[in-house]
Amino acid sequence: MEPSSFLNKIQEMNETIDLLLEEFKKSCILSKMHPDNQEYQQQYERIKTGLNQVQSKIASMSSDIQKNVDKINQSMLLLNVEIQKEKERNKELKRKLGIIENQSNAASEMIHDYTQIYDDRYLRNWALGLSTLLCIATIGTQFRQ
């Protein structure tokens, strides 16, 4: 059953109980004041029976609510198991993705490192060439004098 239907039934029972309790107060006082009057006694018994019926309906509805709660709990346990499985699967997939990303990062790092090494060596070779020419020019000017 839906929660709204339970709420409607509870509201109806509350209204019924309120009316029965008002009548019960009056009939109880009258039946105790006039124990020999059959009409008051019958009215008192009828209201007691009505209260007992409402009480049994409340117990029945409480049982139905408990059954629904148990069903929901069972569903939640199954969902929790599924969530745990998916979390493990997600963790495994993230681990695999991390390995792939790290390899990808390692490859791009190697490419970056090689270009950096190439640039450094290129600049060093030019510096060596220019410094060699500068040394030759300096030595040449020293020996000419």
| pLDDT tens, position by position, 43-91 | 999 999 998 999 999 999 999 999 999 999 999 999 999 999 999 999 8
The answer to whether position 58 is within a domain reads yes
Q: What is the largest CA-CA distance in the chain?
A: 154
Q: Count how many domains the chain has.
A: 1
55-83 CB burial, b ≥16 within 10 A, e <16: eeeeeebeeeeeeeeeeeeeeeeeeeeee
In-domain check, residue 36: yes
pLDDT of 102 above 80: no
- Model-wide pTM > 0.85: no
In a domain, 38, yes or no: yes
Distance CA 121, CA 116 (A): 9
Alpha helices in the chain (DSSP H): 3-33, 38-144
Roughly what angle, to the nearest 10 degrees, separates helices 38-144 and 3-33?
150
Name the residue range of residue 81's domain.
3-106
Cβ–Cβ contacts within 10 Å for residue 6, how many?
Answer: 15
Domain membership flag for residue 72? yes
Residues 15-45 as b/e (b if ≥16 CB within 10 A, e otherwise) read eebeebeebbeebeebbeeeeeeeebeebbe
Residue 112 within a domain: no
Q: Please give the Cα distance from 65 to 113 (Å, whole number).
A: 68
Q: What pLDDT does residue 113 have?
A: 80
Q: How confident is the model at residue 1 (pLDDT cuts 50, 70, 90)?
A: low
Reported as a single tens digit per residue, the pLDDT across 6-56 is 888 888 888 888 888 899 898 988 888 988 889 989 999 999 999 899 999
